[in-house]
Amino acid sequence: MSAVHLDLAHELPEMKDAIHDLKISDNHFKRLFEEHETVAKELHRDGATMGDLDAEKLKKRRLELKDELYKMLNDYQVRTGTKKTCCGTCT
């Protein structure tokens, strides 16, 4: 595929510290994170040559994993008091 693969820390830079913390302290998070990275890399590497159905399955799984990881990261930040709040300039 032509798109550049970005890992989760680059996609969610505001959660970089939480990603690091959970990768070393939560085995479930680490397993999901590694699966997300594997699926994302496979899509990046082989997405253009695989069938549409296979690519769609991988894209769906990547989004499911990202959603679950985001929920875990958000919960962690709320629990630890490290969640960044909006500066108030957003509309």
Q: Where are the domains of the chain?
A: 12-80
**CA-wise closest residue to 16 among 82, 79, 78, 68:** 82
pTM score: 0.82
pLDDT in tens, 66-78: 999 999 999 999 9
Q: Tokens 């939560």 map to which residue?
A: 26
Q: What is the pLDDT of residues 8-58, one digit of tens each?
A: 888 899 999 999 999 999 999 999 999 999 999 999 888 778 888 999 999
The C-alpha R_g of the chain, in whole angstroms, comes to: 15
Identify the CA nearest to 16 among candidates 26, 7, 28, 25: 7
Which residues, 6+ apart, have CB-to-CB distance to 61 below 8 Å?
39
* Nearest CA-CA partner of 9 in 21, 24, 19, 23: 19
**Residue 28 has which token pair?**
């479930």
